[in-house]
């Protein structure tokens, strides 16, 4: 570590559930529980502010130092001593291929468009930033809890996750071979890319279990939530989450917004007052929620731009105030304003060229709803307001379950629109953007830039935002995955380009991957949740018996 000053906070941050059922929990509690017992998501009681001198004292910090500074605003030193936290962070980012961990590069200096590359971790997706950290965090807590214990007395974590492709492999790489942890990853059969499927199923460590579910990502996510809500399962197993329902996932992602900011303001034509927008390809709302926390902590982000694919529930919410799984035309929101003609797609999730974002209901949106409610329905003491916010979230989610949607009143939407804008990008526009960027970055001295389809959605949304913002505005678009993971969209966009050969974008780690032996358990529609439950119970028992 270099001379940069690090913050050292000892005050304890407490956590609560978005549905009001749990209060006063510690960081360790919420990381190991994943989901609150009332079905809600954990959030910190307060969003911490940055130290007054952060702009100077954090400037020049490495990624690891920034992570430490940020995490220690949320984790007290009594819970994780400073040296241990620094070691966990160091270990987590030692697996990355880029020295800056998440470099920010300039894609178009005239239009001030930058790309925050988040795919330099072991599985070539942004999830590694959080899941390398979470894997080491689980290990740290378990080693501490199991000290001196043997056999069945040792605490054993049963990690359950749902993936549309990237979380699965990042979680597996973060947890493979770890002691006292079994990991079960459910993915929608046939709906993840071939490389993503190979990345997951070729990991043969005894503690890794891939479960291919006949259904959609939302079905997998529902199974995860149902298992967490199952009292029997909770009696016999200590369940833990790797999806972004786990608070540590969001926390770890805050770092790169700061890293990108500091990387940008190094440039002489940027001042600390330059308007900076972050544009985020969005599905489960985890990545952009980390940006929201960064903004609320005090990072000067002018706006966060949500970029969805054709599964556009979030985009429709920001236009209409309705969070509806299906078509909302003609409806009015609670406050009496009409939708603006945004077209919803037909029922259910749509398969697109950006499969990792094929999500109908975004789990982390619940966390934002809590903060919106807290801001809007703000009377009484902080505790009374927290209770009110929890009740409001519960009521909205009840409507979502009962009627497949709910509307918020005008004030809530106004507050949401203060921090966020949204864009919806079609498959056609995604392909066109990959092609356009490939051509506009081509030069005799540089290789053309190849975007993956999710990152292309971010750039397509960025280009629209550039059109409506003053010319000095800088846009940082998050590049969430390596293009080699999504050959279908990349091929479609670039197969006609003379110089393009897909082999040239293939990292050596992917060569031959698809031919390796695999292990996967299939679950049919008729097996359903009960089938998954049986698999989890049987496989954990087998692991424990074989090991001891």
Ligand X SMILES: Cc1ncc(COP(=O)(O)O)c(C=O)c1O
User: Which residues contact ligand LJ64HWYM by CB under 6 A?
Assistant: 163-168, 243-244, 283-284, 286, 356, 363
Cross-strand bridge partners of residue 308: 424
Question: Which range binds ligand X by CB under 6 A, 145-153, 254-262, 284-292, 342-350?
Answer: 284-292
Cα-based angle 401, 220, 538 (whole degrees, multiple of 5): 120
CA distances from 531 to 118, 225, 519, 522 (A): 36, 15, 18, 10
- The DSSP bridge pattern shows strands 405-407 and 15-17 to be unpaired
The residue to which tokens 């900011």 are assigned: 261
Q: Which does 243 bind (CB under 5 to 8 A by kind): ligand LJ64HWYM, ligand X, none?
A: ligand LJ64HWYM
For residue 296, what are the contacts with CB-CB under 8 A and spacing of at least 6?
47, 371
Least distance from C-beta 201 to ligand LJ64HWYM, angstroms?
14
Q: Which does 480 bind (CB under 5 to 8 A by kind): ligand X, ligand LJ64HWYM, none?
A: ligand X
Q: Which does 163 bind (CB under 5 to 8 A by kind): ligand LJ64HWYM, ligand X, none?
A: ligand LJ64HWYM
Question: How many residues bind to ligand X according to rule CB under 6 A?
Answer: 15
Q: Which helix (H) or strand (E) holds 304?
A: strand 303-308
Binding mask 285-324 for ligand X (x = CB under 6 A): xxx-------------------------------------
- Catalytic residue flag (residue 127): yes
- Closer to ligand X at the Cβ: 70 or 357? 357
DSSP 149-169: --GGGS--EEEEEE-SSHHHH
- Closer to ligand LJ64HWYM at the Cβ: 40 or 165? 165
- Contact set for ligand X, span 124-163 (CB under 6 A): 125
Tell me if 72 contacts ligand X by CB under 6 A: no
Dist CA 492 CA 435 (whole Å): 9
Least distance from C-beta 287 to ligand X, angstroms?
4
Least distance from C-beta 495 to ligand X, angstroms?
21
- The DSSP bridge pattern shows strands 15-17 and 42-44 to be antiparallel
Q: At what angle do helices 63-71 and 247-265 cross, to 10 degrees?
A: 130
Helices (H), 270-364: 286-297, 313-320
Q: Which two tokens stand for residue 10?
A: 């000892």
Cα-based angle 380, 385, 388 (whole degrees, multiple of 5): 120
CB 303 within 8 A of CB 277: yes
Binding mask 467-486 for ligand X (x = CB under 6 A): -------------xx-----
Q: Which helix (H) or strand (E) holds 138?
A: helix 127-145
CA distances from 429 to 195, 227, 433, 469, 491 (A): 23, 38, 6, 21, 15
Tell me if 120 contacts ligand X by CB under 6 A: no
- Closer to ligand X at the Cβ: 393 or 456? 456
Dist CA 226 CA 233 (whole Å): 10
Annotated active-site residue in 86, 127, 178, 303: 127
Least distance from C-beta 172 to ligand X, angstroms?
14
Tell me if 283 contacts ligand X by CB under 6 A: yes
Binding mask 443-472 for ligand X (x = CB under 6 A): -----------x------------------
CA distances from 525 to 3, 341, 530 (A): 57, 36, 11
- Closer to ligand LJ64HWYM at the Cβ: 281 or 531? 281
- Closer to ligand X at the Cβ: 281 or 407? 281
- Closer to ligand X at the Cβ: 70 or 478? 478
Least distance from C-beta 221 to ligand LJ64HWYM, angstroms?
7
Phi and psi based region of residue 165 (left: phi greater than 0; alpha: psi -120 to 50; beta: remaining): left
- Which of 282, 309, 422, 430 is close enough to bind ligand X by CB under 6 A? 282
Q: Which does 390 bind (CB under 5 to 8 A by kind): ligand X, ligand LJ64HWYM, none?
A: none
**Torsion over CA of 378, 380, 384 and 387, rounded to 10 degrees?**
-20
Q: Which does 122 bind (CB under 5 to 8 A by kind): ligand X, ligand LJ64HWYM, none?
A: none
- Closer to ligand X at the Cβ: 156 or 454? 454
Q: Provide the strand spans (E) within 444-505.
A: 474-479
Question: Which range binds ligand X by CB under 6 A, 278-286, 291-299, 329-337, 427-435?
Answer: 278-286
- Which of 356, 431, 523, 535 is close enough to bind ligand X by CB under 6 A? 356
Three-class secondary structure of residue 443 per DSSP: coil
Residues that are catalytic: 127
Where does this chain bind ligand X (CB under 6 A)? 125, 166, 244, 281-287, 356-357, 454, 480-481
């Amino acid at each position: 570590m270099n001379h940069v000053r690090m913050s050292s906070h000892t005050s304890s941050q407490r956590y609560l559930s978005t549905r009001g059922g749990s209060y006063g929990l510690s960081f360790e509690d919420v990381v190991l529980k994943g989901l609150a017992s009332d079905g809600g998501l954990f959030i910190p009681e307060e969003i911490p502010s940055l130290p007054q001198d952060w702009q100077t004292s954090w400037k020049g910090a490495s990624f690891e130092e920034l992570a430490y500074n940020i995490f220690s605003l949320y984790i007290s030193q009594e819970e994780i001593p400073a040296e241990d936290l620094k070691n966990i962070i160091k270990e987590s980012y030692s697996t990355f291929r880029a020295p800056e961990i998440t470099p920010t590069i300039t894609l178009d200096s005239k239009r001030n468009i930058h790309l925050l590359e988040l795919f330099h971790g072991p599985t070539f997706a942004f999830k590694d930033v959080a899941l390398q950290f979470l894997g080491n965090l689980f290990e740290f807590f378990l080693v501490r809890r199991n000290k001196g214990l043997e056999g069945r007395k040792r605490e054993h974590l049963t990690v359950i996750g749902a993936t549309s492709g990237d979380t699965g492999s990042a979680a597996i790489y973060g947890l493979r071979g770890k002691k006292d942890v079994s990991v079960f990853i459910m993915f929608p059969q046939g709906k993840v890319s071939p490389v993503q499927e190979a990345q997951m199923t070729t990991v043969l460590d005894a503690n890794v279990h891939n479960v291919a579910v006949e259904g959609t990502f939302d079905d997998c996510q529902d199974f995860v939530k149902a298992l967490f809500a199952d009292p029997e399962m909770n009696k016999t197993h200590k369940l833990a989450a790797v999806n972004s329902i786990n608070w540590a996932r969001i926390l770890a992602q805050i770092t790169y917004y700061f890293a990108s900011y500091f990387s940008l303001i190094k440039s002489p034509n940027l001042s600390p007052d330059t308007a900076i927008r972050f544009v985020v390809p969005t599905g489960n709302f985890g990545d952009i929620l980390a940006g929201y926390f960064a903004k609320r902590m005090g990072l000067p982000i002018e706006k966060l731009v949500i970029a969805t694919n054709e599964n556009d529930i979030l985009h429709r919410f920001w236009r209409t105030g309705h969070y509806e799984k299906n078509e909302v035309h003609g409806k009015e929101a609670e406050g009496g304003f009409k939708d603006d003609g945004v077209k919803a797609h037909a029922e259910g999730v749509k398969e697109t060229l950006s499969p990792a974002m094929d999500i109908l209901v975004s789990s982390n949106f619940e966390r934002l709803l809590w903060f919106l409610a807290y801001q809007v329905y703000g009377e009484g003491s902080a505790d009374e307001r927290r209770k009110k916010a929890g009740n409001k979230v519960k009521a909205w989610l009840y409507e979502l379950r009962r009627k497949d949607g709910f509307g918020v009143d005008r004030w809530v939407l106004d507050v949401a629109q203060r921090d966020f804008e949204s864009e919806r990008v079609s498959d056609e526009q995604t392909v066109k953007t990959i092609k356009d960027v490939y051509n506009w970055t081509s030069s005799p001295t540089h290789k053309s830039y190849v975007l993956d389809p999710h990152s292309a959605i971010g750039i397509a949304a960025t280009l629209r935002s550039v059109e409506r913002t003053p010319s000095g505005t800088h846009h940082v678009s998050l590049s969430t995955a390596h293009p080699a993971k999504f050959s279908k969209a990349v091929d479609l966009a670039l197969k006609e380009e003379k110089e393009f050969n897909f082999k040239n974008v293939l990292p050596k780690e992917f060569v031959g991957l698809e031919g390796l032996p695999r292990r996967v358990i299939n679950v049919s529609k008729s097996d359903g949740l009960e089938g998954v439950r049986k698999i989890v119970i049987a496989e954990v028992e087998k692991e424990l018996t074989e090991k001891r």
